[in-house]
A and B are shown apart, each in its own frame.
Chain A
């Protein structure tokens, strides 16, 4: 099954 990714995996904290 596919795993749910998180936003931080794509966009960096500023």
Chain B
């Protein structure tokens, strides 16, 4: 038996909206520690890792580890039916191939029950080692979204360069070139407005912009984003979900032959 209750159905809805274009089918692994999902896009260039800790839920019960394969577009269809302030309760048991989403209005006057068919998904799971990264940049998530969208109108790829003084995003295309340089900014009223650059050694990497633009769909989930880079390694783009976990996107770099 699995049962979990979230104060805001809207949170899960936003999470699924932010990843469903990248991965259409995925298996949620449920255990006593929470709900996790790891999946690659169909071209195996990017990977999504979602972690929702059990202590971030209002109620969480998972008698034994349990896998729930879901079509994320179908899941999104159901989650869209939740009211803005509805709570969400998820229920599933091994006896039937269904997960139930219960949406309850704040005054408890409306209770909607949606049952989604579960599916068996065969996917390759990758072990992601904990690594020290050469550079870690934290910046407002809206700023990162603006940068990748702006550069996406100039070129297909972005070259990210981190030095101790700044982080540069550069793109080129048929119409010309663009470089956006962000300096470290610590003296802000709100901590989420900071741009923090931690550099062990300088890095310079190139990535396909369309994936980064896709990752930035998670902007509304967190005020700031953390980008971790090491030479010839996938970049990590992390959105922390307050009090419950994170969504991490990994993207393999473009490499010179």
The residues of A with any CB-CB pair to B shorter than 8 Å are 2-14
Contacts and interface: CB of A to CB of B under 8 A. Distances in A.
A13 to B, nearest CB: 5
Contacts of B208: 4
B187 interface: no
B127 A6 contact: no
Given A5-B253, A7-B234, A13-B124, 19 more contacts: A2-B157, A2-B206, A2-B254, A2-B255, A3-B254, A3-B255, A3-B257, A4-B45, A4-B208, A4-B252, A5-B45, A6-B252, A7-B45, A7-B252, A8-B44, A8-B124, A10-B234, A13-B125, A13-B127
Contacts of B206: 2
Interface size class of B (residues with CB under 8 A): 20 to 34
B126 A5 contact: no
Contacts of B157: 2
Contacts, number: 54
A4 B129 CA distance: 21
Interface string B241-257: 00000000010111111
B254 A5 contact: yes
B127 A14 contact: yes
10 contacts: A2-B206, A2-B255, A2-B256, A4-B254, A9-B252, A10-B234, A11-B128, A12-B127, A13-B127, A14-B126
